Amino acid sequence: MSPYDVKDYTLLWANYGNGFNMETGEFTAPVGGLYRFTMSTVGNDNPNGIFDVNAILRSDPGYNFEISQSVPDSGLHRISGTWDMNLKKDDVVFLQVQRGTIRIYSNVPLTFSGYLVNEIAE
């Protein structure tokens, strides 16, 4: 794990299939298939005005989804994205901040959710 991995989750609404680990912030696919994920948070930009969060597949870091937003100033800005990933059983997906800083507040949480769209037999 990297110090930039997002792993500060405090509330779990549902965990069907027990794929999400709150301690590590990682989702492990209980079955192979097409999964849809959504992430939403607020953050500060870095000095170059870009805020990036990546969803990374642990077994293949080159297979990731980048959520990027240019911001006009150093205030708080919402960043969100929805993406699909083809995963094999036991593939692990996690979020990592590439540029900028995530800010988590009780009234403005970071959310990371997903669901199985279509199971694929392996």
Q: Give residue 88's pLDDT band: very low, low, confident or very high (50, 70, 90).
A: very high
Helices then strands, counting H and E runs in the chain, come out as 0, 9
- Answer whether residue 92 shows pLDDT above 80: yes
Position with higher pLDDT, 54 vs 26: 26
Position with higher pLDDT, 1 vs 91: 91
Q: Closest Cα to residue 25, out of 4, 6, 50, 41?
A: 6
- Answer whether residue 35 shows pLDDT above 90: yes
Quote the CA–CA distance of 43 and 100 in Å, as a whole number.
7
Q: Which CATH number fits domain 16-117: 2.60.120.40, 2.60.40.10, 3.40.640.10, 3.10.150.10?
A: 2.60.120.40
Q: Give residue 72's pLDDT band: very low, low, confident or very high (50, 70, 90).
A: low
Position with higher pLDDT, 113 vs 49: 113
